[in-house]
Structure formats: C-alpha cells, structure tokens
Amino acid sequence: MTSLNIGLIGTGFMGKAHAIALRSVATAFPEVSAPVLDCLVDSDIDKAGRLAKAWGFARASDDWLAVCSDESIGIVDICTPNHLHKDMALAAIAAGKHVYCEKPLALNSADAKLICQAAAEAGVQTSMGFNYACSPLITLAREMIAAGELGEIFSFRGSYFEDYMASPEVPFSWRCLRSQGGAGALADLGTHLLNMAEYLLGPIADVFGALDTRHHQRRDPPSGEMRDVENEDIAQVLLCFERGISGSMEISRVATGRKCGLCFEISGSKGSLVFDQERMNEIRFYAAGDATGRQGFRTILAGPQHPDYSAFCPAPGHGLGINDLKVIEVRNLLRAIETGTPVDEDFANGYRVQLLVDAIEKSAEQQQWLKVSSLGLDA
C-alpha cells in the first residue's frame, strides 16, 4: 500500500487524538503503511504552525478548502465543530479524497444523507469517529451475542453520562447553538450510544424520546451577557429494535460526577453482559446455567486473545486507552482504502445514527412513539 498524505483540519481535543493515532498506527499495525502527516489546519495560522511542529506535520495552513482540493492530499481528516462537517466533507469528496470525520456527520439527517450519497458516488472510503465500537471487549460482546451465548436477547439498557456542562458557570459555546452544535447531549454523547446499540443488536425500529434542558442560559464570554441554550442537556429514550426487543437509554451532559459513563446492560435467556467505558478494559458476564450458590457476574479482563489488543500489549489486564481505540479506528480506514471494503463505522453508519437522532427529537416534540422509517430519508 502506498502511504497517503493526510490533511488534518482542527487542533482541539479530537484533533490531537487523531494526530496521535495517525503517528502511531503503523507502529501498532505494521501491516498498514504509515500515513504521511502533511498539513495541519487551524483558523489561527500561528497556532496551526506551532502545533504542526509539535505534532509532526510537515506544514500548516489556515485554508481548509485549499487543503481539501490539494492534489497531494489523499485523506482529509475533519475534527472541527459540528456545523463545519458538511461543507468540509463535501469539498473533500468532490476532490476525490478519502474522508475521516468525527461524529456527528452533520447537523441533521438530510445533510448526512447528502454527504453519504456523495461519498458513494465518488467511490471514496469514509470513516466516522465512533471509536468506542473499536474496543476489543465490545468486539467480544458482539461475538458472544451473535454466537448465542446470551441466548434469546430480552432487553437493552444504555446510558451515557458526563458532567462537562453540569455547572451553570460553564460558559456559552457553539455546543449550545442549534445552528452550530445541532442537538445537545444527543449529538455529543448519544450518537456514540446509538451507534453502540445498533452495532451490538441491529437496527432500532421505533423510538419515544423526552428532552430536557437544565441550564436554560449561560454566560457568553465575549459579551458577558446571558444567552439562551438552544438544545438539550438530558435525553431519555425508549426503544424497540427490529429484532423484536425493547430497550431504554438516558444521555446527559449534566450528570455530576460522571466523566465518560458510556454503559450498557444486555439481558438474555442464557446470560447478561454489563459494560462501563470508565472501566473500559473489563466486561461483566453472567451465565444463567451456573450451579445454584455459584451464580453471579464474573469479570472478563481485556487481553491479547481479544481482537486488536495484542497489537498494543502482549499481557492481559494491562489495559488500553481511548487513544488506542483511535489507532484501531485509523487502521480500519487505511485497511479499507487498501482493500476497497468499507469499515463498519463509515458515512452510511454516520447517516444512520443521525437519522436516529432526528427521530428521537421529533418523537420528543410530538410526545409519541415514532417509527424511524417514517422520516422518509432512510436509503
């Protein structure tokens, strides 16, 4: 495989995580060619130049459109605020680039579908930033469910709790604007949980959503004035999967004390699985057939026998981190480009998740159950 030049747009938390993964991927997975860190883009050219040097990029730019159309760039990596994803992705696709984009793909499912269709027509490979699905133990959970180790699946219960906006003193930002952030907790956190639920159990058919904003105003740093928050802090959802099981979700960006509380519990006739991202290197499994007096959840620690773990560590129980999941995510994209086989978390998947977000919002507005297919956008 020929090494491809990368143009990375965005230098925030996710931009740095992507840069670390891009630099590390060929070390962990020598079967893929190391991408060339060509250009780092930020609206502040001085910041772009300083971080390009620190992160190992050859050059810096403050012109994302020029980078998207640059003939030397093979992959455009988008790590910007949500409202910028659409124009950047479409520009890169139009120039024939492969595109790697943080979630959500767009502010609504209509725009997400437009991006998804453009990528399909251009024949480029795409990848979404749903890194939690790359966890070796999530892969194990999916395999156990598919193999029938939990028996007939009864229910799904999921949550994603963080507290980064729990304090009313947290200032107003683009995340509070519908025109820039789209949904609130659903966009930031719920997209990961929705993707996880469908990754494990297949498509969600029906939703019933309820949305709540706890801090209705926040102080705008430039003006010092209080501004209205335009999206939700908390989302609660009832679910019905196409496979005929029910489920529930709660997502909150004001869950005091929680830092990365992506959790799920899946119950079946033969057993149950429990996972908590704050303890990402273990999953708990209950086998219903254990002898009386010996029943209880047992903890399975991540180890080299689980897919992709051994690329980082030869010993079980030592653990991976979120940046390692990003490395796996980058490997998946590079392998897709080489083989022509799409990754699981591609733009079609990003569109599907945005469709679910829209359905939950519409259900909450109408205060009734809603069939996801009723939006009329699903391809």
200 pLDDT above the threshold of 80: yes
Looking at the fold, whether 73 and 207 belong to one and the same domain comes out as no
Looking at the fold, whether 300 and 182 belong to one and the same domain comes out as yes
Looking at the fold, whether 83 and 163 belong to one and the same domain comes out as no
Q: Is 379 part of any domain?
A: no
Mean pLDDT of 217-225: 97
Looking at the fold, whether 143 and 118 belong to one and the same domain comes out as no
Looking at the fold, whether 65 and 189 belong to one and the same domain comes out as no
378 pLDDT above the threshold of 60: no
Looking at the fold, whether 216 and 96 belong to one and the same domain comes out as no
The answer to whether residues 22 and 15 touch, using CB atoms and an 8 Å cutoff, is no
What CATH number should be reported for the domain holding residue 34?
3.40.50.720
What pTM did the predictor assign? 0.96
Q: Is 313 part of any domain?
A: yes
Looking at the fold, whether 182 and 298 belong to one and the same domain comes out as yes
Q: pLDDT at position 379, please?
A: 46
Looking at the fold, whether 201 and 267 belong to one and the same domain comes out as yes
What residue numbers bound the domain in which 18 lies?
Answer: 5-131
Q: Is 92 part of any domain?
A: yes
Overall domain count for the chain: 2
90 pLDDT above the threshold of 80: yes
69 pLDDT above the threshold of 90: yes
Looking at the fold, whether 124 and 224 belong to one and the same domain comes out as no
**At which residue do the structure tokens 């659903």 appear?**
186
Task: Provide the β-strand partners of residue 282.
Answer: 301
What are the contacts of 360-368 at 24+ separation with CB within 8 A?
Answer: 360/186, 360/190, 360/207, 360/209, 360/211, 360/235, 360/237, 361/183, 361/186, 361/209, 361/211, 363/207, 363/208, 363/209, 364/209, 364/210, 364/211, 364/235, 368/208
What CATH number should be reported for the domain holding residue 199?
3.30.360.10
Mean pLDDT of 175-196: 98
292 pLDDT above the threshold of 90: no
197 pLDDT above the threshold of 80: yes
Which of 97, 131, 165 terminates a domain? The answer is 131
